[in-house]
């Protein structure tokens, strides 16, 4: 059996960071195991390749949510990255840290060491950002974060128009104050995606003390009593075991990590018995507490033939592809969202509770995928800190069978109310005089949708994940926790979770930056225990 000091499960955002940081110590051995491949396909490198990888099983687990009455019994496509870089290899590149208050809330819940002041150094450690204040932005980290260079004329009009609504321009929404309108910062370098693989794993796998096992699925964790000692893996239909001398670090993501724990006997014993898993340790919270951002999009048809829709087919698309291969510019170098805003659903609240995305393009039925065949623009919105909670549940003792993913979108009334306000604000943003002069009509939801009930029905029918699953192995000090603030799984030895699943509450933003920060901090916690 092969032996390593540390075994990292998953080479996604968090696994890439941890493999890199642990292997900086040359006299320890690290093995990283990844179910997918190397992800060196042009669709991964091209920022606009996002639209292709969103439903491609070569790079994506392509899960679906369980039906739920709150979203009018729809199954919703639920992408998760597979292969080097994990979800950071198929994500929308937006780099958003959240608000200081998000992390201060984590600390107030008893997670000492996770307040904004505590975790800011880890955000900075990851990052290389040319401009921005050195007080808040990283200047020599491995992750390249860039500003948008090509500013589309329709985006400029959208921003100008927002001034009529009294919205301020936000110079750096990652500096501690989010409120206002801005161009998104992205994990893109010279017009190409810069995933966690590019920033962290690529360096690590060149080191002699790192072994990478790609196209290898972890089937089960092996326990001796309550101590995690190794893994059962499968590659090319061959099953083998590997042994961890010191620790196993789970970085399989907010779906993969609770799923692996459950099939390994860690979970609710009643559930484990139902699916034929031999119980090892009872923790009823494994897989519970799932949170996600649920987005809805308002779209207008416009009278100018200069939206992205017109460039995305036929010979124009071919020219854009050539342009990207030659200069790394144009349509193919664009992220799915260009302009963003953090705004309050009501003037009475302290911090923004809505996040907006604006794109000079429109999609059939508002779902990212196929662009419409007439010029269009889209303003999308989601609630920053949804209150609804769902779950991940294994359906079999075989990890290869997909688990149930039930995010319970819109379960809580407050989530419904805030999204109704969000749709109304999207409409206002698309009715400023700058946008009005180029608009033909509203195509989604359409002018006939007027009352709150009609808007809510539209939200139920047309919303979808914005891919920010968290919270399914929650960090805490109370009865609902799976890991403690050192990220060790409660009641077990030699095993931690260090990915998006540990977030106790949702950060006000897209979740990649927060996941990288968690992994940076986890690496320090592990190194500290080593000394």
Looking only at the bridges linking them, the beta strands covering 390-393 and 210-213 are: unpaired
Q: How far is the CB of 135 from ligand FAD (least distance, A)?
A: 22
Rg (CA), the chain: 22
CB of 481 to ligand FAD, least distance (A): 18
Element (DSSP H or E) covering residue 242: strand 238-250
Question: If binding is defined by CB under 6 A, does position 504 make contact with ligand FAD?
Answer: no
Task: List the interface residues with ligand FAD, window 230-249 (CB under 6 A).
Answer: none
Residue closer to ligand FAD, measured from CB, 398 or 441: 398
- The minimum distance between CB 485 and ligand FAD, in angstroms, equals 18
First to last CA, the chain: 27
Piece of the chain touching ligand FAD by CB under 6 A; list 27-35, 126-134, 454-462, 483-491: 27-35
- 29 binds ligand FAD per the rule CB under 6 A: no
The encoded tokens of residue 376 equal 């269009």
Tell me whether the omega of the peptide bond preceding residue 445 falls within 30 degrees of 0, making it cis: yes
CA nearest to 200, candidates 467, 519, 525: 519
Give 198's DSSP letter.
Answer: I
Find the binder of ligand FAD among 47, 86, 352, 445 (CB under 6 A). Answer: 86
Is 77 a residue that touches ligand FAD (CB under 6 A)? Answer: no
Among 98, 161, 253, 476, binds ligand FAD (CB under 6 A): 253
Residue of 31, 51, 251, 290 interacting with ligand FAD (CB under 6 A): 251
Minimum gap (Å) between residue 389 Cβ and ligand FAD: 17
Q: Under DSSP, is residue 311 helix (H, G, I), strand (E, B) or coil?
A: helix
Q: Which of 32, 94, 242, 272 binds ligand FAD (CB under 6 A)?
A: 94
Helix ranges (DSSP H) in 264-336: 269-274, 314-327
Q: Which residue is nearest to ligand FAD (CB)?
A: 12
DSSP H or E stretch at residue 419: helix 413-429
- Hey, is 493 helix, strand or coil? strand
| Interaction between residue 468 and ligand FAD (CB under 6 A) | yes
Q: Which of 30, 32, 35, 120 binds ligand FAD (CB under 6 A)?
A: 35
Residue with smaller CB distance to ligand FAD, 219 or 302: 219
Taking the C-alpha atoms of residue 259 and residue 264, their distance in angstroms, rounded to an integer, is 9
Distance CA 28, CA 226 (A): 24
Report how far residue 102's alpha carbon sits from residue 105's, in angstroms, rounded to the nearest whole number.
5
Contacts of 508 (CB under 8 A, 6+ apart): 98, 99, 101, 102, 178, 342, 351, 352, 353, 355, 384, 385
Contact set for ligand FAD, span 195-224 (CB under 6 A): 217-218
Beta-carbon count within 10 A of 325 CB: 11
Contacting ligand FAD within 258-297 (CB under 6 A): 260
Which one among 19, 65, 68, 91 touches ligand FAD, defined by CB under 6 A?
A: 91
Q: Which of 18, 30, 32, 33 binds ligand FAD (CB under 6 A)?
A: 33
State which H helix or E strand residue 515 sits in. helix 512-530
Chain-centroid distance of CA 267 in Å reads: 24
Burial label for 222, CB within 10 Å (0-12, 13-18, 19+), is middle
Is 468 a known active-site residue?
yes
Least gap, CB of 118 to ligand FAD (angstroms):
20
Name the residue nearer to ligand FAD (CB basis): 92 or 376.
Answer: 92
Rule CB under 6 A: is residue 298 a binding residue for ligand FAD?
Answer: no
- Closest approach, Cβ 448 to ligand FAD, in A, equals 31
Decide whether 88 or 384 has the Cβ nearer to ligand FAD.
88
List Cβ neighbours of 451 (8 Å cut-off, separation of 6 or more).
Answer: none
Nearer to ligand FAD, 155 or 420 (CB): 155
Per the CB < 8 A criterion, the answer to whether 380 and 356 are in contact is: yes
Q: Which residues 102-161 are close enough to bind ligand FAD by CB under 6 A? A: none
Segment contacting ligand FAD (CB under 6 A): 23-31, 78-86, 101-109, 418-426?
Answer: 78-86
> Is residue 500 a contact residue for ligand FAD (CB under 6 A)?
yes
Nearest CB to ligand FAD, comparing residues 81 and 265: 81
Residue 141 near residue 128, CB atoms below 8 Å = yes
Quick one: 340 or 375, whose CB is closer to ligand FAD? 340
Residues 389-428 that bind ligand FAD (CB under 6 A): 399
- The two structure tokens encoding residue 253: 């993501």
Q: List residues binding ligand FAD (CB under 6 A).
A: 9-15, 33-36, 54, 79-83, 86-88, 90-94, 96, 217-218, 251-254, 256, 260, 399, 467-468, 499-500, 510-513, 515
- Residues taking part in catalysis: 468
């Amino acid at each position: 059996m092969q032996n390593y000091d540390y075994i990292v499960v998953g080479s996604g955002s968090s696994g890439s960071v941890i493999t890199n940081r642990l292997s900086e110590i040359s006299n320890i051995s690290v093995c990283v195991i990844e179910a997918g491949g190397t992800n060196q396909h042009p669709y991964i490198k091209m920022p606009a390749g996002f639209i292709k990888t969103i439903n491609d099983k070569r790079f994506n687990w392509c899960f679906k949510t369980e039906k739920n009455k709150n979203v009018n019994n729809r199954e919703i496509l639920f992408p998760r990255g597979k292969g080097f870089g994990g979800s950071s290899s198929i994500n929308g590149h937006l780099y958003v840290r959240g608000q200081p208050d998000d992390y201060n809330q984590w600390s107030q819940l008893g997670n000492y060491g996770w307040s904004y002041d505590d975790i800011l150094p880890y955000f900075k450690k990851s990052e290389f950002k040319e401009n921005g204040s050195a007080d808040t932005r990283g200047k020599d980290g491995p992750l390249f974060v860039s500003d948008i260079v090509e500013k589309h004329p329709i985006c400029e009009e959208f921003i100008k128009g927002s001034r009529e609504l009294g919205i301020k321009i936000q110079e750096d929404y990652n500096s501690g104050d989010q409120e206002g309108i801005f161009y998104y910062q992205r994990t893109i370098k010279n017009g190409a995606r810069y995933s966690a693989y590019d920033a962290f794993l690529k360096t690590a796998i060149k080191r002699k003390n790192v072994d990478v096992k790609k196209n290898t699925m972890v089937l089960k964790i092996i326990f001796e009593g309550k101590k995690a000692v190794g893994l059962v893996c499968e590659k090319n239909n061959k099953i083998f075991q590997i042994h961890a001398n010191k620790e196993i670090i789970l970085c399989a993501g907010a779906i993969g990590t609770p799923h692996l724990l459950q099939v390994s006997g860690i979970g609710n014993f009643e559930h484990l018995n139902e699916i034929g898993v031999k119980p090892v340790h009872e923790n009823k919270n494994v897989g519970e507490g799932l949170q996600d951002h649920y987005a809805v999009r308002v779209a207008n048809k416009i009278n100018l033939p200069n939206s992205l829709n017109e460039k995305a087919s036929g010979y124009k698309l071919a020219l854009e592809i050539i342009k990207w291969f030659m200069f790394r510019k144009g349509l193919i170098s664009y992220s799915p969202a260009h302009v963003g805003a953090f705004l309050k659903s009501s003037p009475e609240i302290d911090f923004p509770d809505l996040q907006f995305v604006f794109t000079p393009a429109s999609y059939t039925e508002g779902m990212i995928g196929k662009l419409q065949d007439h010029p269009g623009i889209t303003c999308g919105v989601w609630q920053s800190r949804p209150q609804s909670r769902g779950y991940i549940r294994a359906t079999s003792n075989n990890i290869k069978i997909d688990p149930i993913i039930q995010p319970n979108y819109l379960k809580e009334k407050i989530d419904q109310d805030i999204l109704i306000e969000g749709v109304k604000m999207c409409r206002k943003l698309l009715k400023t005089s700058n946008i009005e002069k180029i608009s033909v009509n509203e195509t989604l939801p359409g002018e006939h949708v007027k009352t709150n009930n009609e808007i809510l029905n539209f939200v139920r029918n047309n919303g979808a994940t914005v891919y920010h699953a968290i919270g399914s192995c929650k960090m805490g000090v109370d009865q609902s926790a799976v890991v403690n603030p050192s990220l060790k799984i409660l009641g077990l030895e030699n095993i931690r979770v260090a990915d998006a699943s540990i977030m106790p509450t949702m950060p006000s933003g897209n979740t990649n930056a927060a996941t990288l920060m968690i992994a940076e901090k986890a690496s320090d916690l592990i190194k500290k225990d080593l000394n």
